[in-house]
A = this chain, B = another copy of it.
Amino acid sequence: MNDPLAVIGRLRRTTDAIIGEADLRERLAAGRPLRIKYGVDLTAPDLHLGHAVNLWMMRQLQDLGHQVVFLLGDLTTRVGDPTGRSDTRPVLTPEEISANASSFLEQVSLVLRTEPSVFEVRRNSEWYDGMRIAELLGLFGQVTQAQLMSRDMFRARVEAGREIGVHELVYPVLQGYNSFAMRSDLTIVGSDQLFNEQLGRHFQQRLGMAPQVVITTTITPGLDGRAKQSKSLNNYIGLTDTPRDKFGKLMSIPDELVEPYAHVYTELPLETVAALAASAEAGGPAARDAKLRLAAAVVTRYHGAGTARAELQSFQQTFTHRTQPTNIPTVVLDHPVTTVLDLLAAVRPTETRSQLRRLIHQGAVTINNTRATDPTHPVDPATPLVIRSGPRTWHQIHPTP
């Protein structure tokens, strides 16, 4: 389909390891479209820039004519992937699973091409719903307890005295068999999935199929420098974050993350990445400029150069000059509001009143440029109000007639 060395060379930028590299060269050289397994658990349909690293690699391969098989793990979601989890996951209803699947597809389409020639959607219930217990037990017979327990994550749990449900123990078997059932040639995963995908190779070989190539990718730390990006830590940039949020979050990272982020989250030439890294190391205004460049590059990748330019300007205006930004969202009140707390609740409806009270007490809230520190202080919504809550959150209130 194209020069194997060139293709692999380009993937290498964000590659940690390739299991079966010779096979990959051979298959690329053979010229037929590869089937690229992209399997997801449907519990938490929030993709972040870390996940997108893999998606962009798949996108490169799609652009060369290869096929991404997007595997919705609807059956395995009912089991719960124990990866990185200390507790058993909640069981989802079929409706939740279906809603999460739609959400996933929407997010994935921000990076991947979705025309049928290079994109196929499958569900693992397709083979597991029709599989008989005896057949599953036959698969179990091809794996030993010790093999499964050798997984880092399980060992860590045992050491921590935490329990492993048997459904969790066998999860890798199910994930592994998927590779056989969907005839995967290649999968691109975080290194925490290596074990499960190695089992995929195991089953493919046992069942007479050439084993898939596994590429594991570079894992970048979260915004706070922690190794794991997770929803509960709220330390990542979501694929569906607004351009403004993406920009702002990138401006908030520690200086030492500029280099790894620029390396894996952008396509900036490596010389540029090196230059940004040097600026970040210098600190002060140079580091700040490096982050502006990084933030603009990431926003460009997802939202285009025009949006990136606008966000750059807006950010500079807001934070450099501390002035009110030009494009503040307007909120129309649909119920009476008499106190500062009520007003804040009206513009930030997803937060609890105790969270909002905290914001006010922290001095993060200003109304018409005057700090409001008493949640019970009266407000008059009949006059135009501009309310700011936190450094980058502004709302204007449409006066009640």
Contact = CB atoms under 8 A, between A and B. Distances in A.
A140 B75 contact: no
A133 B75 contact: yes
Nearest to A164: B145
Contact of A167 (B129, B141, B167): B141
A170 interface: yes
A163 B131 CA distance: 26
Contacts of A166: 140-141, 143-145, 148, 169-170, 173
Given A78-B134, A144-B163, 16 more contacts: A78-B138, A79-B134, A79-B137, A79-B140, A80-B141, A129-B132, A137-B170, A140-B165, A141-B167, A142-B165, A143-B165, A145-B154, A145-B169, A146-B158, A166-B169, A169-B169
Contacts of A75: 133-134
A78 B168 CA distance: 23
A154 B141 CA distance: 16
A141 to B, nearest CB: 4
A149 interface: yes
A367 to B, nearest CB: 51
Given A144-B165, A166-B173, A128 B133 contact: yes
Contact of A165 (B79, B88, B128, B145): B145
Contacts of A173: 166
A310 to B, nearest CB: 48
Closest 3 CB pairs of A and B: A140-B167, A140-B166, A141-B167
A44 interface: no
Contacts of A78: 134, 137-138
A136 interface: yes
Nearest to A149: B145
Number of identical monomers bound together in the oligomeric complex: 2
Nearest to A76: B137
Given A75-B133, A163-B145, A140 B88 contact: no
A137 B78 CA distance: 8
Contact of A136 (B129, B136, B145): B136
A144 B164 contact: yes
Residue among A136, A148, A167 with most chain B CB within 10 A: A167
A158 B309 CA distance: 62
A79 B136 CA distance: 10
Given A75-B133, A133-B131, A138 B167 contact: yes
B164 A146 contact: yes
A134 B167 CA distance: 10
A169 B137 CA distance: 10
A163 B146 contact: yes
A78 to B, nearest CB: 5
Contacts of A88: 141
Contacts of A134: 75, 78-79, 128-129
Interface string A91-134: 00000000000000000000000000000000000001101111
A75 B133 CA distance: 9
A144 B149 CA distance: 13
Contacts of A154: 145
